[in-house]
Chain A
Amino acid sequence: MQEQQISIQDIEGRGIPLRGNDIDTDQIIPARFMKRVTFDGLGEFAFYDHRYDDEGKPTKPHPLNDRRFKDGSILIVNSNFGCGSSREHAPQALARYGVRAIIGESFAEIFAGNCTAMGIPAISLPHHDIEEIMQTVEHDPATPITTHISDQVVSVGEHRYHFDLSPAYRNALLTGAWDSTSLMLANLEEIKATAARLPYISSFESVEVS
């Protein structure tokens, strides 16, 4: 049970500006690449149809194909990122590509939940901040970016942008208590007590009839 120990504090890296609202998880990882029983190797298929031509060469204009951003690990996106299918293959593909944090205007809920469960901070900033960060990175891809979880600030070069995380979630990332399985399994007695008070378990448990 090693995952529960990992504390997520400052994430430093370069940015990858990925413009566009409503980018759905079918774009992030097309369904045909989900025909596998592990998440291994998904990184190379991230945004496949946006990046690869008919001959399977990464020739299409896309930030993940852009040599200027090839060392990037902090994805910068617009609004409603990750909408559509619940597939965790999407954030898993991004993580395996090398993304360690995502900064955007807003995130689809299931996608954000998957990021949380994986320990990838999905940080929201207002539109004008995102636009400024994208322009900064597009102008100078080497601009260092750091997401400071403890003081809730993204620093981009000389600029600092404040973001909000719930105190509890921030604490969870910092202390490594973001691993929900361990957190919840610790409450085994309460789980059983909750089950026992549910009418459909205690009072009229369904019986299979053949």
Chain B
Amino acid sequence: MAENLFNKVWDLHKVKRLESGQDQLFIGLHLIHEVTSPQAFDMLRERGLKVLYPDRTFATVDHIVPTASQERPFGDQLAEEMMQALERNTAEHGIEFFGLHTEHQGIVHIIGPELGLTQPGMTIACGDSHTSTHGAFGSIGFGIGTSQIRDVLATQCMAISRPKVRKIDVSGSLSRGVYAKDIILKIIASLGVHGGIGYAYEYAGEAVRALSMEERMTICNMSIEGGARVGYVSPDQTSYEYVKGRRYAPQGESYDRAVEYWKSIASPEDAEYDDVFELDAGQLEPMVTWGINPGQAIGISEPTPRIASVDRGHREVAEKAYAHMGFNEGEPMQGKPIDIAFLGSCTNARISDLREAARYLQGKRVASSVKAFVVPGSRQVAKQAEAEGLPQIFADAGFEWRGAGCSMCLAMNPDKLEGRQLCASSSNRNFIGRQGSPTGRTVLMSPAMVAAAAVTGKIVDIREHL
């Protein structure tokens, strides 16, 4: 019985079994941001503790930064205070901080891979549920809460019980107009938003092998939306190549030794899993959400589900979803007018996402009824986009080009929905109120689908517009 990647990496990082019954797991890379870390630093102070491995923690600022103007001090005093707290804490503890004074600021899950900090075979923790993103490299990324951030700062470890591992085997190949985002939305719709509780998901199969690192990140990113705290792809040549030459990547002979290690922790063909789920990528069509959680998603040609056909346990949430969204059961999602088009977030704001949207937008105009904006995931993504002339394409099409940050994914900054606005969004959560208005409505989709919705003013099937 061959071990899968998850168990190999876990065993390598296991410090010992704790009295609480959990394992003490060493964390190779700790990423922090302004929202969930200040209380953790206060807890350290209260206990008179220091950061044990300050060179294994890296900070950036993303959630609260305005994207229209990033001038300091911020107009929002509370946001400014959070920013200052992070500056103080990182300076006091000797932690590298990729703030607004650097070229590397951006969404924490975008800058980790970009800087080469994220590498195969590592354990990674961050006070953000989308830390599963880093699993795209064959690392194990855990989203953690603030008390656990305190743990990682003080001990470079977290206390956690080992989950089971489910292989998600995606065969076939994607059709034109169907993307990584559609694969993960389909997986969540199939297994449910709590289907992954107690599991780590290993995404495998020929369709996953064919994906770029950025596409794999999109899939791993949304693992948590399916209840799986961890999602990963066993590393291969695509992963090794992506890491090579990046700022914090091993260089020269070190890189060769690294690749040896990375190969050693990969899941072999005959690896054992606690469960397997199979999906044919060839059967997929563009996905959209119709409800109030990411599991409430359908193919663009399907009608919204009948309440009577929904599992009994999910009916109440389905009813709540229809009431909130103002949609009816059994109707198409195509043709629904949108108010806002948001292209951004740790799910889909990498250079390949921007390129795909820009390719469609070339020579087109955003509908007059729609406000559209694009928020690059990091300053490096923005810089690359500028080198390729993308901001001009977006501007000519009527998209606002913004500074890097989390923006309207969670509206902890000035980017918010107003009233009952309907947003076509490339982000990860369609929870009620998520985008800043308690009555606002979110429809999740791929970046290309967002661009097409912006231009036509309504939800459409991108395949008919390519």
Interface residues of A in 106-150 (CB under 8 A from B): 106-110, 113-114, 116-118
Contact A37 B82 (CB under 8 A): yes
B275 interface contact, C-beta 8 A: no
Q: Is B441 an interface residue (CB 8 A)?
A: no
Shortest distance between the CB of B109 and any CB in chain A (Å): 12
Whether A208 and B129, one on each chain, are in contact in the complex, defined by CB atoms closer than 8 angstroms, is no
Is A21 at the interface (CB under 8 A from chain B)?
A: yes
Determine the residue in chain A with the shortest Cβ distance to B194: A80
Q: Is B91 an interface residue (CB 8 A)?
A: no
Q: How far is the CA of A208 from the CA of B249 in the complex (A)?
A: 8
- Verify if A57 is at the interface (C-beta below 8 Å from B): no
- Within B128-153, the residues touching A (CB, 8 Å) are 128-129, 131, 143-148, 150-151
Chain B residues whose C-beta falls within 8 Å of the C-beta of A85 in the assembled complex: 128-129, 410, 429
> Is B316 part of the contact surface with A, judged by Cβ < 8 Å?
yes
A-B contacts, 6 of them at CB < 8 A, read A27-B431, A87-B35, A106-B197, A109-B163, A110-B144, A168-B18
**Contact between chains at A80 and B39 (CB < 8 Å):** no
Is the CB of B392 closer than 8 A to any CB of chain A? Answer: no
- Interface 1/0 per residue, B416-444 and A, CB below 8 Å: 00000000000001011110101000000
Interface string of A16-46 (1 = CB under 8 A from B): 0000111010110011101111110000000
Chain A residues close to B by CB (< 8 Å):
1, 20-22, 24, 26-27, 30-32, 34-39, 49, 79-80, 83-89, 91-92, 106-110, 113-114, 116-118, 166-169, 171-172, 175, 177-178, 180-181, 183-185, 187-188, 190-191, 194-195, 197-201, 203-210
Complex-state Cα separation, A191 to B76, whole angstroms: 41
Query: With an 8 A cutoff between CB atoms, is B78 at the interface?
Result: yes
Once the chains bind, are A204 and B250 in contact (CB under 8 Å)? Answer: yes
- Tell me if B102 is interfacial: C-beta within 8 Å of chain A: no
Most buried by A among B20, B129, B251, B317: B20
How far apart sit A92 and B150, CA to CA, in the bound complex (Å)?
Answer: 15
Q: In the complex, given contacts A83-B193, A110-B145, A206-B254, what are 9 additional A-B residue pairs having Cβ atoms less than 8 angstroms apart?
A: A20-B317, A21-B317, A37-B38, A107-B197, A109-B227, A181-B150, A183-B159, A188-B155, A203-B257
A175 to B131, CA, bound (A): 32
4 pairs of A and B residues whose beta carbons are closest in the complex:
A168-B21, A88-B145, A117-B147, A114-B145
Cβ distance A80 to chain B, nearest Cβ, rounded Å: 4
Instruction: Give the docked Cα–Cα distance between A178 and B18 (Å).
Output: 10
Smallest CB separation, A196 vs chain B (Å) = 10
Whether a CB of chain A sits under 8 angstroms from the CB of B191 is: no
Are A200's CB and B434's CB within 8 A?
Answer: no
Known A169-B21, A200-B258; judge A32-B197 contact (CB<8 A). Answer: no
When C-beta atoms are compared, the residue in chain A nearest to B115 turns out to be: A208
